[in-house]
């Protein structure tokens, strides 16, 4: 697995992935393992951050009621720059997922997929590097636009760029703010929605993503980073 180390390399890789057409993945009829990953940085400063910022990356895998998590520590590879999230977070997230005892059959990523300037956000790139089907889950779209869905649970509404559907709003819980669901590596819109709805269990945020987020933030708090930044 070789992650790009410069913006030029990252853009070239994104353009390559945007053109790729891997075999589509379909959720199996039996219970399957849904994973997720999440990375957090020290609280306090605003702005783009810096290369070398301390980071805590967690991955979770959920099958039924069984939840397993792993956390790795490291540093950010770059400042935050929209459209180039892989440079800052990609290797850390890949390490966290690879450290899981059992690899997930599909992975939820807190990043975009085709809703991206080059149609290849981190959700898609991480799946390609790991060889795992992926679905992006975010609170808001990056570039795409579209109306909110109906208030009922399960309602969707397409998010488009230049008339091309690249993601969708999904109401995982009635009257709660919808999430943005992004097709990633080897997944299309219908499959992405099915996976997120399956993993949400009536909550707003899918359980694997909640577990990974909780694990990363707990690890950060255990180091005292939150207290030092707030004190």
Give the C-alpha separation, 164 to 8, whole Å.
Answer: 26
Q: What does the domain layout of the chain look like in residue ranges?
A: 34-230
Residues 6+ positions from 221 with CB-CB distance below 8 Å: none
- Which of 49, 82, 78 lies closest to 229 in space, CA to CA? 49
pLDDT in tens, 106-124: 999 999 999 999 999 999 9
**pTM to 2 decimal places:** 0.95
Q: What is the pLDDT of residue 230?
A: 43
- The neighbour count for residue 96, using CB atoms within 10 Å, is 27
Q: Are 164 and 157 in contact (CB under 8 A)?
A: no
Beta bridge partners of 73: 56
Q: Residue 129 burial by CB count (10 A; 0-12/13-18/19+): exposed, middle or buried?
A: buried
Q: Are 179 and 139 in contact (CB under 8 A)?
A: yes
Q: What is the pLDDT of residue 201?
A: 87
Domain 34-230 CATH (choose: 3.40.47.10, 3.30.2170.10, 3.40.50.720, 3.40.50.150): 3.30.2170.10
pLDDT in tens, 86-100: 999 999 999 999 999
């Amino acid at each position: 697995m070789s992650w790009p180390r410069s913006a030029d390399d990252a853009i070239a890789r994104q353009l390559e992935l945007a053109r790729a057409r891997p075999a589509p993945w379909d959720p199996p009829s039996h219970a399957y393992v849904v994973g997720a990953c999440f990375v957090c940085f020290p609280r306090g400063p605003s702005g783009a951050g810096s290369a070398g910022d301390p980071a805590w990356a967690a991955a979770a895998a959920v099958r039924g009621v069984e939840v397993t998590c792993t956390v790795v520590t490291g540093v950010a590879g770059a400042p935050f720059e929209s459209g180039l999230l892989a440079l800052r977070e990609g290797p850390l997230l890949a390490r966290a997922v690879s450290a899981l005892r059992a690899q997930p059959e599909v992975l939820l990523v807190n990043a975009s997929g085709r809703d991206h300037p080059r149609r290849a956000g981190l959700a898609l790139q991480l799946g390609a590097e790991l060889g795992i089907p992926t679905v992006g889950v975010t609170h808001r779209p990056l570039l795409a636009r579209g109306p909110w869905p109906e208030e009922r649970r399960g309602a969707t509404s397409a998010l488009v760029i230049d008339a091309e559907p690249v993601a969708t709003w999904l109401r995982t819980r009635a009257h709660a703010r919808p999430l943005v669901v992004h097709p990633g590596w080897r997944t299309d819109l219908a499959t992405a929605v099915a996976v997120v709805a399956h993993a949400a269990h009536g909550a707003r945020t899918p359980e694997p993503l909640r577990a990974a987020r909780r694990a990363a933030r707990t690890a950060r708090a255990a180091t005292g980073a939150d207290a030092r930044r707030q004190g």
